[in-house]
Structure 1
Amino acid sequence: MHPKDLSVHDFTYELPEQKIARYPLPERDSSRLLIYKDGAISENIYRNIHELLSPGSLLLFNNTKVVAARLLFQKPTGAVVEIFCLEPPPQYADMTTAMNQKGRVTWICLIGGASKWKPGQILEKRMEYNGEEVLLQARYLGKEKDSFAIELSWSPVSLTFAEVLHVAGNIPLPPYIKRTVEQTDSERYQTIYANSEGSVAAPTAGLHFTDAVFAELDRKHIHREYVTLHVGAGTFKPVKADTMGEHPMHAEFIDVSTSTLECLLQYLNKQITVVGTTSLRTLESLYWLGVKAGRQPNLPLEELVVHQWDPYELNGTPVPAKAALENLLQYLQKKGLNRIITKTSLLIAPGYKFQIPQALVTNFHQPQSTLLLLVAAFVGNDWRKIYSYALENDFRFLSYGDGCLLLRQ
């Protein structure tokens, strides 16, 4: 069956409200870890994950950093308008370029209280930064299909947009965490290795890792490597269509260095474990970028992207993972580039054939979500057994919850 024909209603389960973790545990690495291997389920905690991975293997992380993307503007009447900054429009080459804009930027946003914002009205927000007053203004440019184009401008103009968000914004907790944002969320809804600003949601599988865990991984000679996928708000978008063919997968920026590609080549014959669904989508997207680069070596860089259905509709002789990664490296070297920065809309659903990873570390995901479809593709129908076990044994669900280590048969 083509994944387009899958019904999301076949990927649901009952998730009681009390199973959703509203806060993280006091210690990141004390979260529980469900292990699925050869059809059997066992339990451990993240602090011991080094005991569960092969010596000399590779762990791949997403080092994206969550930005304070929620901006609250209060009108003179007292009414509040919330602007949720989703992503930059296509006029910016990549996320880093957009985040480093000074003085003015255009952004694609969601708006809470849009009816209170009259056309032509400029919203203002004042705050202090390093002893200096910062004035942030928002101007409505136009409506997109499911969002709005907003121009944000500020003074002093020497500040970057990343700095302005840091001063003026709030961390965007997922909508299913039904509470107000607290000061501790700015640290806990962020991995300890986050360094590339641009996400509106955390790569939550990585929230459980600590310096102590990393030290144990080092002692076991388990190598760590990093990719970047900037998580968009589409990660929270429910699948409303009857079949997946009617669901548009959101595009997200990925950024991967040639040194990381070379590292992946060295570990292809060893265990590669991806931490999080975003790392998995990035890794598999690299494979498909390499397939395309091999078939069309003169393809312009801006056209080297991964579309939603590429894995299911690109015909031709199957390409080994080694050849695909080498193709991508040669493509980049030919263009004098030391990294690939592009977009991926890859949808991984049952029927997908994985090319590179053997194991996945991930949290427990919402019913009828594209993330649950990805898990079902990775472990097959046993996803039901895994989730039933987690529910019956009081595992904590979603972003601040526990997680699992899934080893593919």
Structure 2
Amino acid sequence: MKLSNFGFDLPSELLAEYPAENRDESRLMVLNRKDQTIEHKMFKDLIDYFNEDDVLILNNTKVFPARLYGNKEKTGARIEVFLLRELNEEQRLWDVLVDPARKIRIGNKLYFGDDDTLVAEVIDNTTSRGRTLRFLYDGSYREFRLKLNELGETPLPKYIKRGVEPDDEDRYQTIYAKKEGAVAAPTAGLHFSKHLLKRLEIKGVNFAEVTLHVGLGTFNPVEVEDLSKHKMDSEEITIDSQAVNIVNKGINEKRRVCAVGTTVMRAVESSVSSSGMLNEMEGWTNKFIFPPYDFSIANCMVTNFHTPKSTLLMMVSAFAGHDFVKRAYEEAVKEKYKFYSYGDAMLIL
């Protein structure tokens, strides 16, 4: 498959600026791979497709307020700093993106907050927009992290032009988020409400939690026509024994094992045993899934609607079949489904 196979016309008005009023009342397109059928439902209807001892695999990563705004020393120029990952806790080193990058050089200092109590020094260039910052702060590490959270804002995707609003702090986070470290939400999980999860639990559905801290690399554009030459950024994964036991039990009993989101699918496919079972893992993955690909763990998937030529669309096409997904996306555009992070959902059976 080539990059050009994944292009399609997406009207800008279908990019979701806001989430559905209620989490589980977004729309749900259901794709049945066996019958090649498409149904139109509400997300809360998801429960109708699961039975006792089926498994839902959730990504419990938690988004932190990764977008900061500071002022450059002397000139006072306003600079956006997007925190990507912490490199060294003791030295308070962070890998970041800066904008506008042309103004930021090694040795520059940036000042944050009205009282300038948080200062960062640029100590390295990593990419055209990437920098390594050393944060200078007098308090303890805990106080430093609290300061980052206080000054940072919810890192909504750039396509959302309206700016961050108070509700975004809650809505751009799954209700089961636990482990802080993501700079973008695992958006398929945003549709689950407490009520829906409780109904699934009462029905006997089992939940397995894994952690993949979503980085911006997931959204980097593919710039090569030959997909085998595209390199994904690495993302941190934790899969513990409890998740492994729940998932492997579901596989052995031939239950429905559903990956909630491309991040979950990427995580579990990064830690597969020779016998096709899930392994424990603590590490990093740069796995890039595109057609053709043989999946080992999940036989079902929940995902959002993705943008043209994205790695996320490629993974979904690998799972459901390129032609089927193409037909489904044509119908989604025709029926005015909402796309991207705050958009509607798809269930692939």
Same fold (TM over 0.5): yes
> 2:275 is matched with which residue?
320
Say which of 90, 111, 122 aligns to 2:98: 111
Equivalent AA in structure 2 for residue 14 of structure 1: D
Equivalent residues in 2 for 1:231-380, closer than 5 Å: 231-268=214-251, 269-287=254-272, 290=273, 319-322=274-277, 325=278, 328=279, 340-380=281-321
Confirm whether residue 47 of structure 1 aligns to residue 44 of structure 2.
Answer: yes
**1:258-286: CA deviation from partner (whole Å, max 9, x where unpaired):** 12112222111211011100011111112
Q: Is the 8 A contact 1:134 1:155 kept in 2?
A: no
- Partners of 1:358 and 1:206 lie apart in 2 by 17
> 2:344 is matched with which residue?
402
Confirm whether residue 225 of structure 1 aligns to residue 213 of structure 2.
Answer: no
Q: Is the 8 A contact 2:67 2:152 kept in 1?
A: yes
Say which of 386, 389, 399 aligns to 2:331: 389
Q: Is the 8 A contact 2:206 2:246 kept in 1?
A: no
Say which of 115, 118, 122 aligns to 1:136: 118
Equivalent residues in 2 for 1:28-67, closer than 5 Å: 28-37=23-32, 38-67=35-64
Equivalent AA in structure 1 for residue 160 of structure 2: I
- Partners of 1:174 and 1:126 lie apart in 2 by 23
- Partners of 1:158 and 1:200 lie apart in 2 by 20
Change in 2 beyond 3 A, CA 1:160/1:232: farther
> 1:72 is matched with which residue?
69
Compute the displacement of 1:161 (Å).
5.1
* 2:150 alignment partner, SS class: helix
Gaps of 5+ in 1: 1-5, 93-100, 128-132, 291-318, 330-339
* 1:142 alignment partner, SS class: strand
Compute the displacement of 1:320 (Å).
2.2
Change in 2 beyond 3 A, CA 1:286/1:160: farther
Equivalent AA in structure 2 for residue 396 of structure 1: K
**1:179-221: CA deviation from partner (whole Å, max 9, x where unpaired):** 2111211111000110111111000000010111011101211
Compute the displacement of 1:254 (Å).
0.2
> 2:167 is matched with which residue?
184
- Partners of 2:242 and 2:143 lie apart in 1 by 29
- Partners of 1:347 and 1:122 lie apart in 2 by 37
- Partners of 1:360 and 1:164 lie apart in 2 by 38
- Partners of 2:150 and 2:26 lie apart in 1 by 31
**1:23-77: CA deviation from partner (whole Å, max 9, x where unpaired):** 1111111100000012000011111211122332000000001111111002454
Q: TM-score, normalised by structure 2?
A: 0.93
> 1:97 is matched with which residue?
none
- Partners of 1:151 and 1:20 lie apart in 2 by 36
Gaps of 5+ in 2: none
Equivalent AA in structure 2 for residue 176 of structure 1: Y
- Partners of 1:164 and 1:61 lie apart in 2 by 29
- Partners of 1:10 and 1:271 lie apart in 2 by 30
Deviates more, 1:133-142 or 1:62-71: 133-142
Q: Is the 8 A contact 1:13 1:367 kept in 2?
A: yes
- Partners of 1:284 and 1:354 lie apart in 2 by 7
Q: TM-score, normalised by structure 1?
A: 0.80
Q: Is the 8 A contact 1:274 1:280 kept in 2?
A: yes
Confirm whether residue 151 of structure 1 aligns to residue 134 of structure 2.
Answer: yes
- Partners of 1:158 and 1:280 lie apart in 2 by 34
Identity of paired residues, percent? Answer: 36
Compute the displacement of 1:176 (Å).
1.6
Q: Is the 8 A contact 1:67 1:165 kept in 2?
A: no
RMSD: 1.7
Deviates more, 1:196-205 or 1:140-149: 140-149
Confirm whether residue 18 of structure 1 aligns to residue 1 of structure 2.
Answer: no
Equivalent residues in 2 for 1:163-202, closer than 5 Å: 163-202=146-185
* 2:307 alignment partner, SS class: coil
* 2:174 alignment partner, SS class: coil
- Partners of 1:158 and 1:349 lie apart in 2 by 41
- Partners of 2:101 and 2:59 lie apart in 1 by 34
Report how many aligned residue pairs link the two structures: 342
